[in-house]
């Protein structure tokens, strides 16, 4: 008897917590995205809801429109931010993959006693505050910053490189803060690999490079896929990096949403942008969950 109740309680408490504070809020985002902007507190008038009873709802349904969405599709700023986010997230995922593969491969190939210290050394910057890591790059990248001083001092360049407040700075920021998320799954899948496969390939006359492409690379695909999801999905909605390093000219959907919400106080448009971002990401999130369950056991 008590086992059954314990079981129900165990399931019910976290279940309802997540239902109330994770899933249900999306219904409100959807509702507000369909509301009209207004000068009020909170700044919108709902088009759906029973505040004025059923007759009020029916009245409002007659005038129902997709104002925020029409507004978004008609304004090039929003379309550009969505396309730009897709581009920046894809390119930086690729950059993280290339950089992360070199590091993960190097770690697996290093002497065994180095591995734990190296893993710890990876964790330290990763656990350091995200804002601090991004902030550290301002001093390096700005016009009179560390990098420019160094290159000017060495005589490599004659005038300072303009990197700060450009998309390049955003790429550097994303690779710097997200590539650890690529290295961990890559390392895990390379570490599990059976080394005798490579020895067999070598014995059979396979060159090192073709052994890499025919054995190591395919066997690390689960890690590659997991790493790409882990970088791409949050990079799509990134706000801090384009805001601090990207300047005004780098528009990304997360940043546009933040500005609509906090500066323009246009809650319906911000909500509509959130819904669009969610629609773009729901596919990758579900695929990632399935991938995770298949390769890393049930959660």
> What part of residues 277-296 is at the interface with another protein (CB under 8 A)?
277-278, 281, 285-286, 288-289, 292-293, 296
47 within 8 A of 279, measured Cβ to Cβ: no
**Least distance (Å) between residue 172 CB and another protein:** 10
- Which residues fall within 8 angstroms of residue 97, CB to CB, at 6 or more apart? 182, 224, 227, 228, 231
Give the number of C-alpha atoms closer than 13 A to the C-alpha of residue 17, restricted to the C-beta side. Answer: 6
At 156, give phi and psi (nearest 5°).
-70, -40
**Rg of the chain (C-alpha set):** 25
DSSP 137: H
- Which residues fall within 8 angstroms of residue 256, CB to CB, at 6 or more apart? 77, 78, 81, 273
Nearest Cα neighbor of 93 from 213, 201, 185 is: 185
* 217 in contact with another protein (CB under 8 A): no
CA separation for the pair 151, 146 (Å, rounded): 9
DSSP 138: H
Residue with Cβ nearer another protein (62 or 113): 113
226 within 8 A of 288, measured Cβ to Cβ: yes
Residues 169-188 touching another protein, rule: CB under 8 A, are 176
Query: Which segment (54-62, 69-77, 154-162, 191-199) binds another protein by CB under 8 A?
Result: 191-199
**Least distance (Å) between residue 184 CB and another protein:** 13
Query: Which segment (55-63, 64-72, 74-82, 232-240) binds another protein by CB under 8 A?
Result: 232-240
* 200 in contact with another protein (CB under 8 A): no
Q: What x-and-dash track marks residues 119-138 binding another protein by CB under 8 A?
A: -xxxxxx-xxxxxxxxxxxx
272 within 8 A of 27, measured Cβ to Cβ: no
* 97 in contact with another protein (CB under 8 A): no
* 193 in contact with another protein (CB under 8 A): yes
Residue with Cβ nearer another protein (62 or 120): 120
A 10 A CB-CB count for 246 gives 25
- 118: which 2 tokens? 């190296």
**Least distance (Å) between residue 66 CB and another protein:** 18
* 76 in contact with another protein (CB under 8 A): no
Residues 253-272 touching another protein, rule: CB under 8 A, are 254, 257-258, 261-262, 267, 270-271
* 212 in contact with another protein (CB under 8 A): no
Query: Which segment (9-17, 55-63, 65-73, 76-84) binds another protein by CB under 8 A?
Result: 9-17
Total residues at the site for another protein (CB under 8 A)? 101
Residues 34-63 touching another protein, rule: CB under 8 A, are 42
């Amino acid at each position: 008897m008590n086992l059954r109740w314990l079981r129900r309680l165990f399931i019910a408490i976290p279940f309802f917590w997540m239902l109330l504070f994770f899933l249900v809020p999306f219904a409100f985002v959807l509702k507000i995205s369909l509301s009209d902007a207004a000068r009020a507190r909170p700044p919108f008038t709902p088009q759906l809801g029973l505040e004025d009873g059923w007759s009020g709802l029916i009245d409002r349904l007659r005038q129902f429109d997709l104002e925020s969405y029409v507004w978004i599709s008609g304004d090039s700023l929003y379309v550009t931010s969505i396309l730009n986010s897709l581009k920046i997230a894809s390119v930086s995922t690729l950059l993280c993959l290339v950089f992360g593969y070199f590091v993960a491969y190097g770690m697996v190939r290093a002497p065994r006693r180095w591995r734990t210290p190296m893993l710890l050394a990876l964790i330290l910057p990763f656990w350091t505050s995200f804002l601090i890591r991004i902030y550290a790059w301002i001093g390096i990248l700005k016009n009179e910053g560390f990098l420019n001083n160094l290159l000017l001092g060495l005589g490599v360049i004659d005038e300072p490189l303009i990197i700060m407040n450009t998309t390049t700075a955003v790429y550097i920021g994303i690779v710097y803060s997200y590539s650890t998320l690529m290295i961990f799954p890559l390392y895990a899948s390379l570490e599990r690999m059976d080394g005798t496969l490579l020895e067999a390939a070598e014995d059979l006359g396979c060159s090192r490079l073709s052994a890499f492409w025919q054995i190591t690379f395919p066997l690390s695909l689960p890690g590659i896929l997991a790493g790409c999801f882990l970088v791409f999905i949050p990079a799509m909605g990134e706000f801090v990096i384009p805001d601090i390093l990207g300047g005004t000219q780098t528009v990304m959907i997360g940043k546009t949403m933040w500005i609509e919400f906090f500066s323009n106080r246009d809650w319906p448009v911000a909500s509509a942008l959130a819904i669009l971002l969610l629609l773009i990401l729901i596919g990758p999130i579900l695929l990632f969950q399935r991938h995770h369950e298949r390769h890393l056991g049930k959660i």
